[in-house]
Amino acid sequence: MDGLGYLVYNRCKDRRGRVYQSADGLNYHLLFEHVNHTVPQSLNEGLDGSLYLSTNTGPGWLRNPLLLFAMRGYSFVNPVIIHDEKQIHEDLKLSKPAKEVPFVDHPMGTNVFLNGRWRHILLYRVCDLRETNGEGAPPTPQTGLYAAELEYDRVQPQPFFPDTR
């Protein structure tokens, strides 16, 4: 993001997420905080240079739906739903609804050059709560690694790579 230099994002047990900024990559200061639900979160840069936080809002162990929050100034705003496993089950009108809302988490975005153009891909996992809580439940039909491609109106020339001309 223009003018911000280096950014580091972290989450803590105190239910606060923090964004730190540095001009030199060595000395950081707190840029801003936001409410955090102690679930996996990642700060990503889209194809247009904008930043977003990919996460869930909880509560507790439930990690559904997966949301993207755009970074605007010193806050995260306008969540967009990327994957809502509960809504998928309702839309499919399953005769036997799932007993647990699955985890939809560990999101990580990246910009890649594929098939002649830049693309922004978000990778994340989907699994049942019982697969992660020590019960050793077998994988469910929805378990796996998922990918979503985010579309942008504007693409920076070669994201993440400096202009060497």
Q: Edge-to-edge strand order for the sheet containing 144-150?
A: 103-114, 117-127, 144-150
Q: Identify which of 64, 106, 103, 60 has the alpha carbon closest to the alpha carbon of residue 81.
A: 64
| Mean pLDDT score of the chain | 84
Q: What pLDDT was estimated at residue 69?
A: 95
Q: What pLDDT was estimated at residue 87?
A: 80
Mean pLDDT to the nearest integer, 94-109: 75
Q: Is the peptide bond before 139 cis (omega within 30 degrees of 0)?
A: no
| Domain boundaries of the chain, sorted by first residue | 6-150
110, 121 Cβ separation under 8 angstroms: yes
Copy the structure tokens of residue 136: 């050793």
Query: Per-residue confidence at 91, pLDDT binned at 50, 70, 90?
Result: low
Mean pLDDT to the nearest integer, 99-111: 84
Mean pLDDT to the nearest integer, 154-161: 68
Q: What pLDDT was estimated at residue 81?
A: 95
What percentage of the chain has pLDDT greater than the value 70?
Answer: 83
Mean pLDDT to the nearest integer, 138-152: 89
Mean pLDDT to the nearest integer, 88-117: 78
**Residue 80 pLDDT > 60, yes or no?**
yes
Mean pLDDT to the nearest integer, 150-157: 85
pLDDT tens, 30-69? 999 998 777 889 999 999 989 999 998 876 677 889 999 9
Q: What pLDDT was estimated at residue 54?
A: 95
**Residue 141 pLDDT > 60, yes or no?**
yes
Copy the structure tokens of residue 41: 């979160």
pLDDT tens, 58-69? 766 778 899 999
